[in-house]
Each structure stands twice: as structure tokens, then as C-alpha cells.
Amino acid sequence: MPHTISLIPGDGIGPEVSRAVQQIIEAAGIAIRWEETSAGGDIEITDFMKSPAVLSILKNRVALKGPLATAVATGPPSLNVQLRKALDLYANVRPVENLAGVASRYQNVDMVLIRENTEDLYAGLEHTVVPGVVESLKIITERASTRIARFAFEYARKWGRKRIHAIHKANIMKMSDGLFLTSIRKVAEQYPEIEYQEMIIDNACMQMVLNPCQFDMLLLTNLYGDIMSDLAAGLVGGLGVVPSGNIGETCAIFEAVHGTAPDIAGQGIANPTALLMSAIMMLRHINETQAALDIERALQKVYTQGKNLTRDVGGSATTADFTEAVIRELRT
């Protein structure tokens, strides 16, 4: 039985990298029926729950997604955020590790950031108090904090991770970040085999660039998670070489964390690695473990050889050259 998976190719380089990933997965021998769908930016939608993407993902439970363009400072809310909220994809999982062949000042980086994905300043509750004064509401609930903590500790148990750092600013935001911490502490007590530590966000950023290898897993609220996961990605070569998954109770969306790269869209030089790595996470999620391993090995081989890398990672290959090289490795 083939898997049916929703595919949102996205904007800019999205369709180019999606096509590359589809070809590689096909070469790995996995039968997938891709249900291609739009996230809705191109059509008028009054009820986002009825958007083609939401309906498709609710049915198929799993999606692979390319980047979506979002206007800065004006325009409608981000479709990415709307999708996560509509499907209650509360856990953003971002593994960060070195990829052989990609230049980095750090070696042996191997960490997973777990970001709460549904609340905090991303609740999108902003209003004008009086002209010239606006207010953004930072929403933290015990329910969401406990849920993400349980997810993180279960993840650690499942994947043999040893230590979790909760990242916060509870010395200043005593109530909101305070509630996040007290909720996590209660969950941590139930997992005595996993070391639990807390670190203030500003110190955590410094520690991250001084010695990233001290981190095994990080557990963060939405905004801190967004910022620190990009910081962590920068330590191993940037957003082009790290994957992500947005996981909920019933559905999951796997996506590259880079954007639509409008400066190179349509030129055939985009790097599909991040989306491919996200697809590898997706294959593990649907229990296609062997295919995930095969693609991972082929990808590592192409990077170690270094002959078919795209421009962003120091090579001169096109998207097609890179894709063919991974497929060749898969077949040998």
C-alpha cells in the first residue's frame, strides 16, 4: 500500500526543492502518492480550517512542505503559523548536527531543539492601546507548557537523549516564563533518568556559541525556540542543512526551515538538502526506517565526496546535479 502524503511545494525555490526530494524518495523505492495542495496564499479563504492544505493534511495525517512567503510588517498572518495552529502542531522539532563536508567552526555538534509551537508571542494578539503605543500579548499556559515538556521528555527517552535544558527568562518574566518552568519541573520529576537543567536565554546564546557540544536537548517557548534554533543551525552551516518537523497529536508537517530564497528562485541552483533531511525525518515518522537510513547515507556520501554540492555550501552544482548524485549513491 503506498503512503498518501500531502505535499505543499510552497513559493520561490519551494517547487524546485520539492521536486528534487520527490525524485530521491522515489529512487529509494518508497511508494508514495503525493497529494499536492496549496497552502491558500493564492486563493480567498474565509475559514482557514477549510483551506485545501488543512483538509488534505487532516485526511492524510502527514505532509511535506516547502517554504511559504510572508509579508513583513503588513499583510495577513503567516500561513506557516496558521497551519501550525489549525492542526495543533504543538511541537517543533529541530535536530542540529554537523554534516560531513559542510564547513563549520564546530565539530561533534549533535542537539535537538524542541520549541513550543502554538502560543507565546505567536498568539498574534496585538492591538493599539493609544496611537503610538501597541501591545503584543505573550500567552503561556500550564496546559501547553506541560504538553511540550512531556513531548520533550518522551522524545529524549525514545531517542536515547540524556539531558534537557529548559531555556527561559523567568528572572524578568516571572509569571509567563515562570509558569513555563514550573510546568516543566513537574514533568521532569517523572523522568529521573534524564538530566534536567535550566538556563537563562541570554547566557544560553553565549554558551551556544562558546561550546555547543554541551547541549543535548533544549526545550523552549515559541519565540526563544525560533531564534535559538536558527542560531544553532548557523553553527553547522546554516538553514540549508538542517531539517524540522511540526508534530501534533494526530498530524505532522515536515519542512525545511529556510525561506523561499527569492534571490535564486527559478535559477535551478537551490539546495534541496534541508527539505531532504526533513523528508528523512518524515520517513522515520511513518516507519520507513530503512529508506530513511539509505537516503541519509547517500546524502552523507555526496557531501563527503564534495563534488556535487550547490553554491550555498561552497560548490558549483545545480539542483539537478546534486539530486542525480544522491540518486546515483542510492543505487550503488
Task: Name the site residues for ligand NAI (rule: CB under 6 A).
Answer: 13, 17, 67-70, 80, 239-240, 255, 257-264, 270-271, 274, 312
To ligand NAI, the closest distance from the beta carbon of 152 in angstroms equals 21
Q: Considering Cα of 234, then 237, then 239, then 241, what sign does the dihedral take?
A: negative
Query: Rg (Cα) of the chain, in Å, rounded?
Result: 20
The one-character DSSP state at 254 is: E
Calpha distance 219→166 (Å, rounded): 5
Is 321 one of the annotated active-site residues of the chain?
no
Catalytic hit among 110, 138, 169, 216: 169
Catalytic hit among 11, 120, 177, 226: 226
Helix, coil or strand: residue 317:
strand
To ligand NAI, the closest distance from the beta carbon of 65 in angstroms equals 7
To ligand NAI, the closest distance from the beta carbon of 177 in angstroms equals 25
Nearest to 85 by CA among 124, 140, 56: 124
In the complex with ligand NAI, the residue whose CB is nearer, 79 or 201, is: 79
Is 122 one of the annotated active-site residues of the chain?
yes
| DSSP code string of 47-113 | -GGGSHHHHHHHHHSEEEE------SSSSSPPHHHHHHHHTT--EEEEEEE--TTS--S-SS-EEEE
Catalytic hit among 88, 230, 301, 321: 230
Cell of residue 276, nine digits: 531532504
In the complex with ligand NAI, the residue whose CB is nearer, 58 or 69, is: 69
In the complex with ligand NAI, the residue whose CB is nearer, 37 or 176, is: 37
Is 110 one of the annotated active-site residues of the chain?
no
Q: Considering Cα of 299, then 32, then 9, then 70, what sign does the dihedral take?
A: negative
By beta carbon distance, the residue nearest ligand NAI is: 259
In the complex with ligand NAI, the residue whose CB is nearer, 42 or 189, is: 42
Q: Name the residue with cell 519541573.
A: 185
Calpha distance 45→47 (Å, rounded): 6
Q: Name 130's bridge partners.
A: 133
Catalytic hit among 65, 120, 122, 303: 122
Catalytic hit among 50, 106, 174, 202: 202
Nearest to 219 by CA among 188, 244, 245: 188
In the complex with ligand NAI, the residue whose CB is nearer, 6 or 176, is: 6
In the complex with ligand NAI, the residue whose CB is nearer, 43 or 130, is: 43
Is 169 one of the annotated active-site residues of the chain?
yes
To ligand NAI, the closest distance from the beta carbon of 232 in angstroms equals 15
Give, for 322, the enclosing helix (H) or strand (E). Answer: helix 319-331
To ligand NAI, the closest distance from the beta carbon of 71 in angstroms equals 7
To ligand NAI, the closest distance from the beta carbon of 275 in angstroms equals 7
Buried b or exposed e, range 162-198, using 16+ CB within 10 angstroms: eebbbbbbbeeeeebbbbbbebbeebbeebeebebeb
Calpha distance 224→220 (Å, rounded): 6
In the complex with ligand NAI, the residue whose CB is nearer, 135 or 263, is: 263
To ligand NAI, the closest distance from the beta carbon of 262 in angstroms equals 6
Calpha distance 34→66 (Å, rounded): 14
Catalytic residue annotation: 122, 169, 202, 226, 230
